[in-house]
Structure 1
Amino acid sequence: MNFKATVITNVEVSPGYFRLRLTAPQFFVTAASPGQFVMVRVSASIDPLLRRPFGIFDVGVMATEYPDVQQPFLDILYKVVGKGTAMLAGFHHGDQMEVLGPLGKGFGTGEPSEGKVLVGGGVGLAPLYYLARELVKESRVHLFAGGRGRDDVLCITEFERLGVETYVSTDDGTLGERGLVTEVLERYLANGTGAKTIYACGPFPMLKAVAEIAGRTGIPCQVSLEAYMACGVGACLGCVVKGRDHSEATPDYRCVCKDGPVFDHTELSWEQRL
């Protein structure tokens, strides 16, 4: 569904990273699930022409200035990387924009257990927060968050407030352990923690490494891919990736926006990327 949204807050949570809260219809809050995304039109003009995709960080209802009146809302987490997101960072309370969503296939939460493991980096933490909020209702959840430096590790306090046990690593050692988040994950799993499911979102190299770990350990794993998107509904085929059975003779392509963005790690070809 396409709807008009009004900016409630647009706050810089770390240098270059923003958390945007928008009004949303009640149907959106009811229909959305962890792992889905929205397409946002950042300008009423044709420049930039295409909408921008953003994972859903959170949805809910909030109090207003009027007693007994609550406002449904949508939160997204984004990094300023180009013209579109730079324009988005300039939005203030009361400004309006168009939003299309919720879109895509989200995470499957599975059965309650004591071993839900989340792995994310940068804005890849966005859909994992929404997922964690649902998982903690019935399971013990562990988060492995990584980034190049401390500024790239986002919203850890929010995860901890949910009761999530967090492990942080950075490439330069400015926050948490020094090293890759997947290295910390491997050490954790080697201790025989009994992880039941891994959920990951972040850069492709990180997801590939997580998928390899899941394959070696036999732990079920779902990954949420990041991709450039033009339409968000599978019409333009601009965000396709190669499936596990892909070959020149029998092409196997998956649309990130329509078939995903969440996939079982066994569905994809990790050795071949467009």
Structure 2
Amino acid sequence: MQFKSMVLSNVEVSPGYFRMRMTAPQELLESSPGQFLMLKVVDAIDPLLRRPFGLFDVGTFAPEYAGCGTQCYTEILYKVVGKGTKMLSALHHGDLVDLLTPLGKGFAAGPAGEEKVLVGGGIGLAPLYYLAKDLVMKGEKVRLFAGGRNRDDILCITEFERLGVETYVSTDDGTLGERGLVTQVLEQHLGSGMRIFACGPTPMLKAVALMAQSHGVPCQVSMEAGMACGVGACLGCVLKGANHTDETPDYRCVCKDGPVFDSFELQWS
């Protein structure tokens, strides 16, 4: 669905990273963790195309927002990297954006009773919070492995901990948590009876997918890709499927077939 949304807050949560809350229709409460939205600033001509963002959270307002004309909200996390996200960082309460959401395929929680292991790198933590919230509400045991280059890339850990999620943090330079890659920390804790959900840079996802395969652990990955349309029309976010060869092409659209895939669906070579 497409709708106009009002910005409620837009806060810098770490240097260069922002958390934006916007109004949303009640139907968005039916969205799934791992789905995404396409956003455009109302009346803005440049940039022309919408920008994709994973759903960080969806919920209902506290009483103080009762005058907004809706009782629902959605949130995104984003990093300022170019003209579009710099424009977003300048928005304030009351500004309008145009949203197209919910889009794509989200995470499948899997059987009850498994330990749910979330692995995120940098802005990849965004869809994992919505997932963690959903899993905790279902009574699942959840652990989070969060990684980044330095402490500035570790986002919203307090929010995960408030849910009761056991967290492990690592940074490349050792400024927060353990020194090293998040996959190194993850490997120390892998075992049977787990299911992995990962989102972050492609090299991290590849390492997690191959590690999960070697341990026989089910794994879902949320892929990041540049998108122009968000609905599979432009074919600008195509990845190679696991069965792809030059003779028998196997392509998957991140926006339509994903962004969440079982790790065995994709070609990691």
Q: Is the 8 A contact 1:42 1:52 kept in 2?
A: no
Q: Is the 8 A contact 1:113 1:196 kept in 2?
A: no
Q: Is the 8 A contact 1:39 1:53 kept in 2?
A: yes
Q: Is the 8 A contact 1:23 1:74 kept in 2?
A: yes
Which residue does 1:233 correspond to in 2?
231
Which residue does 1:71 correspond to in 2?
71
Residues 8-19 of structure 1 mapped to structure 2, 5 A cutoff: 8-19=8-19
Distance (Å, rounded) in 1 between the aligned partners of 2:64 and 2:183: 45
Shift of 1:195: 4.0
Provide structure 2 residue ranges, at least 5 long, that are not aligned to the other structure: none
Count of residue pairs the alignment pairs up: 267
For residues 77-116 of structure 1, give each alpha carbon's deviation from its aligned partner in whole angstroms, at most 9, with x where no partner exists. Answer: 0000000000000000000010000000000001112511
Shift of 1:65: 3.6
Residues 97-116 of structure 1 mapped to structure 2, 5 A cutoff: 97-116=97-116
Distance (Å, rounded) in 2 between the aligned partners of 1:212 and 1:109: 20
Q: Is the 8 A contact 1:114 1:141 kept in 2?
A: no
Q: Is the 8 A contact 2:54 2:126 kept in 1?
A: yes
Partner-residue secondary structure (3-state), 2:56 = strand
Q: Is the 8 A contact 1:170 1:176 kept in 2?
A: yes
Distance (Å, rounded) in 2 between the aligned partners of 1:107 and 1:40: 21
Which residue does 1:200 correspond to in 2?
198
Which residue does 2:33 correspond to in 1?
34
Provide structure 1 residue ranges, at least 5 long, that are not aligned to the other structure: none
Q: Is the 8 A contact 1:171 1:179 kept in 2?
A: yes
For residues 190-220 of structure 1, give each alpha carbon's deviation from its aligned partner in whole angstroms, at most 9, with x where no partner exists. Answer: xx4x342000000000000000101100000
After TM superposition, where is structure 1 displaced by more than 6 Å over at least 4 residues in a row? 66-70
Root mean square deviation of aligned Cα: 1.4
- Tell me which of 255, 258, 263 is aligned to 1:257: 255
For residues 96-143 of structure 1, give each alpha carbon's deviation from its aligned partner in whole angstroms, at most 9, with x where no partner exists. Answer: 010000000000001112511000011100000000001113211000
Q: Is the 8 A contact 2:42 2:96 kept in 1?
A: no
Q: Is the 8 A contact 1:132 1:164 kept in 2?
A: yes
Distance (Å, rounded) in 2 between the aligned partners of 1:262 and 1:97: 25
Which residue does 2:147 correspond to in 1?
146
Partner-residue secondary structure (3-state), 2:188 = helix
Identity %: 70
43-52 vs 255-264, which moves further: 43-52
Amino acid at match of 2:202: F
Is 1:54 matched up with 2:53?
Answer: yes
Q: What TM-score comes out, normalization by structure 1 length? A: 0.95
Q: Is the 8 A contact 1:64 1:70 kept in 2?
A: no
